[in-house]
Amino acid sequence: MPFELPALPYDIKALAPHLSRETVIQRHSQTQRACVARLNQLVEGTPWANASLEAILLGAEGELARQAAQAWAFIFHWHSLSPQGGAPDDALGQAIAARWGDITGLRQAIATAASDASPGGWVWLVRDAQRLEVMAGDVHDLPLSRGLTPLLVHHLTGGQDTDTAAGLDAFWALANWRFAAANFSGLSAPAAC
């Protein structure tokens, strides 16, 4: 069964002015659509043809694994953003305070990771069994492959994100803390494409 491009969890204009409609169209309707199309080409006629996206990204190798990882990361990316933005809830806020002192410390950790990451990379807020961490990497390096639970992700790409500071400002304005809190408590996972 072929994978499909999932609909955005909000209207295509909902993230403006932080992410323009044009930026969302470029990332979702063009880049992510091309990723899903390539994934379908690669999976056709293979033992992975009926596998879940997660099974492919964790078990396949080479370009098939990369395309599955990118498709999964994009799905998670869109759920990591919300027009309402917000702030961490009590439990997640306490975990952030225990690790970085406060939200400002987390923002600095993510800014540092973003400045060290390659364009097109991903900066993740993750949870392991003991505490929160920030990790950066390319699409081949997902938290799932390290046994970590992703909470939020920021995608470093062109457009408004060419300027890392502007991209981070947009991310912080749109960070979906309800989604992050659900992931933190183990109650949520994004739907597969």
CATH number of the domain where residue 79 is located? 3.55.40.20
Non-local CB neighbours of 143 within 8 Å, separated by 6+ positions: 124, 126, 135, 149, 150
* H helix runs in the chain, sequence order: 21-24, 33-43, 53-59, 62-79, 90-100, 103-116, 164-174, 177-184
Rounded-to-integer distance, Cα 69 and Cα 54, Å: 8
Taken in order 158, 192, 39, 114, is the CA torsion positive or negative? Answer: positive
154 in a domain, yes or no?
A: yes
13 in a domain, yes or no?
A: no
34 in a domain, yes or no?
A: yes
32 in a domain, yes or no?
A: yes
Q: Give the residue numbers spanning the domain of 146.
A: 19-193
* Whether 32 contacts 157, CB under 8 Å: no
Rounded-to-integer distance, Cα 61 and Cα 169, Å: 35
74 in a domain, yes or no?
A: yes
29 in a domain, yes or no?
A: yes
119 in a domain, yes or no?
A: yes
Low-confidence ranges of the chain (pLDDT < 70): 1, 158-163, 187-193
Q: Looking at residue 151, what is its pLDDT?
A: 96
The structural domain count of the chain equals: 1
Please identify which residue in the block is written with the tokens 């991310």.
Answer: 171
100 in a domain, yes or no?
A: yes
Q: Looking at residue 160, what is its pLDDT?
A: 45
